[in-house]
Structure 1
Amino acid sequence: MLKEPYRPKINLPKSTTEKIADIIGIAALLFAVIFIALNWTTLPAQVPMHFNGVGEIDRWGSKYEILILPIIGIALFFMLQILEKKPHLHNYPARLNESNVEQFYKASKKVLNYTKNICCLIFAYITYEIVIIAQQKKLLLDSSTLIVLLVLLFSIIIFGIVKMMKIK
């Protein structure tokens, strides 16, 4: 019979930086929704919905498809918010024990929080770019901001993994 891993339920309040990150993530999603609403009447019937590796449009879709981005962002935010509140469900190495459980939980929650909120920023940024490109008839996505956000996302994940590797 397999032994259940050590996973106590601990209530850990959010840190100030996690609260600030949540405010930024929520604000980004609200911006995306409001930006779409304010620009809805000026959007053409067809908007760019996919870009290739160099930022060129390779698929057009109905302007209603642009609503998918904030919907996915909002759903992702709430799902990860629930998971963030349950750090005992996250995946940990076998060395998790009574003396280090709080460190592991805090590190895991922080990585999940920052990941969640950077994803919100990414969805808001892509929404913004699609609206601007559709209205101005540009044919190229400015990918530099997106690259910065993706580098930040992966840096946080790598930083979190390294931090957890250092926990004894």
Structure 2
Amino acid sequence: MASTKRPVIKLEISLFDKIIEGIGFLLLIAMWLCVLVQYSGMPDLIPIHFNFSGKADSFGHRSDIYSLPMLATALYMLLTFVNNYPQYFNYLTPITPENAHRQYVMATRLLRYLKVLVVVIFATLISMTIHY
């Protein structure tokens, strides 16, 4: 098993990576705040599913809106946890002590971008639901 032979490196988080982490976390908090603030003004029935053309085709109780930020938070936390173990990721090239640091930095940065993208997608879904 190649992943057990890979070097384990404690990566220092650069300022750029801290900024990306901060953006993702702030967007996650903003998404929760938006749901909490808008909840009381929402109708009892809200769209819970949209078809490919963007039309609502299924409706549920307004409390279903909480499922979106909960799922986004769970994915965010999972990706944060997984990001601590880059030596177990799948890489296109063999990981050696010489290239491990660069490969790990690129892979962990990709997951940081993915976390921000996940939050943006869920925030968009929440916005569509609230403004429907």
- TM-score normalised over the length of structure 2: 0.91
2-side partners of 1:3 and 1:106: how far apart? 19
2-side partners of 1:122 and 1:103: how far apart? 29
Aligned partner of residue 38 in structure 1, secondary structure: helix
Where does structure 2 lack aligned partners over 5 or more consecutive residues? Answer: none
Contact 1:21–1:117 (8 Å) recurs in 2: yes
Question: Per-residue deviation at 1:15?
Answer: 2.1
Report the AA paired with residue 87 of structure 2. Answer: H
2-side partners of 1:26 and 1:124: how far apart? 12
Contact 2:3–2:87 (8 Å) recurs in 1: no
Aligned partner of residue 58 in structure 1, secondary structure: strand
Contact 2:79–2:111 (8 Å) recurs in 1: yes
Distance change (3 Å), C-alpha of 1:101 and 1:45: same
Question: Per-residue deviation at 1:130?
Answer: 0.9
Considering Cα pairs closer than 8 Å and 6+ residues apart, tell me whether 1 or 2 has the greater RCO: 2
State the percentage of identical aligned residues: 27
Question: Per-residue deviation at 1:33?
Answer: 1.2
Correspondence for 1:68:
67
Report the AA paired with residue 44 of structure 2. Answer: A
Report the AA paired with residue 7 of structure 1. Answer: R
Report the AA paired with residue 61 of structure 1. Answer: G
Does residue 54 in structure 1 map to residue 47 in structure 2? no
Query: CA-to-partner distance for each residue in 1:69-99, whole Å, 9 max, x for gaps?
Result: 1001111111111111111121124521111
Correspondence for 1:97:
96
2-side partners of 1:35 and 1:83: how far apart? 28
Stretches of 4+ aligned residues off by more than 3 angstroms: 2-5
Question: Per-residue deviation at 1:5?
Answer: 4.8
Where does structure 1 lack aligned partners over 5 or more consecutive residues? Answer: 134-168
- TM-score normalised over the length of structure 1: 0.73
Correspondence for 2:9:
10
Q: How do residues 18-37 of structure 1 correspond to structure 2 at under 5 angstroms? A: 18-37=17-36
Aligned partner of residue 10 in structure 2, secondary structure: coil
Question: Per-residue deviation at 1:22?
Answer: 1.5
Report the AA paired with residue 68 of structure 2. Answer: L
Report the AA paired with residue 90 of structure 2. Answer: N
Report the AA paired with residue 65 of structure 1. Answer: D
Between Structure 1 and Structure 2, how many residues are aligned? Answer: 132
